[in-house]
Amino acid sequence: MSAPVRTVVHLLRHGEVHNPGRILYGRIPGFRLSEHGRDQADLVAKALADVDVTAVLASPLQRAQETGTPVAAQHNLDVVTDDRLIEADNSFEGERVSVGDGALRSPRHWWLLRDPFTPSWGEPYRVIAHRMLAAVHHARALAAGHEAVCVSHQLPIWTLRRFVTGRHLWHDPRHRQCALASLTSLVFDDDRLVQLSYAEPAGSSDPTATGA
């Protein structure tokens, strides 16, 4: 019996975003990396310089594309856009949603908060998990026997992590382990997940920071 093909898929969260209005920008186009975010992307590229990366995929959003660019350049690759890696849809997109101010204080929005388990304010967690898992397996197939990088966003990455580790998908966002420019790495033998690890090559960040 032949040995299984080992493939690693790294889920890379984008770097810090230029967001002076501190809004929840979600899928709104045009939000680029800040200068610090570009530095974070460069740090990740350096951390992956000696890794056998043969595919780099990214969410279509600008911040993800910009984060993936130095990683791809390090390995003489192009960034391939995969729409399944996009940020979660959210009804509060374009609003300020910091705790204690903004849209969450307005009674007109309270109906959106009625169900934290699906959730009622955005794309269902299970839908996020399924599209992210499909994107990961696509990347695994592209990089079979090597390693792939998928650039995505905090909530999709964290939702997938909870899904593949058998935890319920609803959660407290203050406790997400998915810092800016962090790597959540999934190790596969053939198509079977055998290991998950997490690293912060660009340092830690506040999971609740608006616009991160």
**Domains in the chain: ranges and CATH:** 6-199 (3.40.50.1240)
* Euclidean distance between CA atoms 91 and 76, whole angstroms: 38
Is residue 212 predicted with pLDDT exceeding 90? no
Give 23-57 pLDDT, tens digit per residue.
Answer: 999 999 999 999 999 999 999 999 999 999 999 99
* In contact, 77 and 68? CB cutoff 8 Å: no
Question: What is the model's pLDDT at position 123?
Answer: 97
Give 147-190 pLDDT, tens digit per residue.
Answer: 999 999 999 999 999 999 999 999 988 899 999 999 999 999 99
Residue 1's CB: how many other CB atoms inside 10 A?
A: 3
pTM strictly above 0.85: yes
* Euclidean distance between CA atoms 182 and 190, whole angstroms: 25
For residue 72, give the nearest of 88, 51, 89 by alpha carbon: 51
Q: Which residue has the tokens 């939702």?
A: 159
